[in-house]
Structure 1
Amino acid sequence: VWGGFAVDNATLTRFFTIHFLLPFIIIAMVMIHLLFLHQTGSNNPLGTNSNMDKIPFHPYFSYKDLMGFILLLMILTMLTLLNPYLLGDPDNF
């Protein structure tokens, strides 16, 4: 990865190539994983075959995810409005 004794064009080109190709490699690996999971099925470590311990996704997990997103958005908005320069670099001033 390191192109020489200094960070120059060869090093930057290699890092750009890695950063460009890495998402496609990750997507390919996820697709292969989903393909194998779809073909063989998932594992049940407890061995129970009951629907009693399952809950539906929509009312429970979607509500939980929505509340987490709203909380994160509120914290970020408060941080931005109350102290906008908190995360800024001191060299910018």
Structure 2
Amino acid sequence: MIRTLHDRGAMCSAPYTSWDGQLTPDYYAHLPENKAPRGRSIRPADEDGNLGYGSHPTGQLEDFVWDKGDDIAFETAPCAICWTRTAWC
């Protein structure tokens, strides 16, 4: 999902690195089936690829929606929520 948002220009993200500049280790790096022991963690990024914060993805997604000419409904509540075996409806 994150890759799709990135590829469509909706949200910027970057690999998360430790204080030493290395990609962060995966929590399950010690397991033999883990083929990517480092580099799975991502973080928000600003439009220039610099460290972003929680407001960055929110603002980027908002801008993406407005740029497409769509509306965002604020202060609304769902009128019905249901779950089927295949999807939310």
Tell me, yes or no, whether TM beats 0.5.
Answer: no
Q: Which has the larger radius of gyration?
A: 1
TM-score relative to the length of structure 2: 0.26
The structure in which a higher percent of residues are strand is 2
TM-score relative to the length of structure 1: 0.25
The answer to which structure, 1 or 2, has the higher relative contact order (CA under 8 A, 6+ apart) is: 2
The structure in which a higher percent of residues are helix is 1
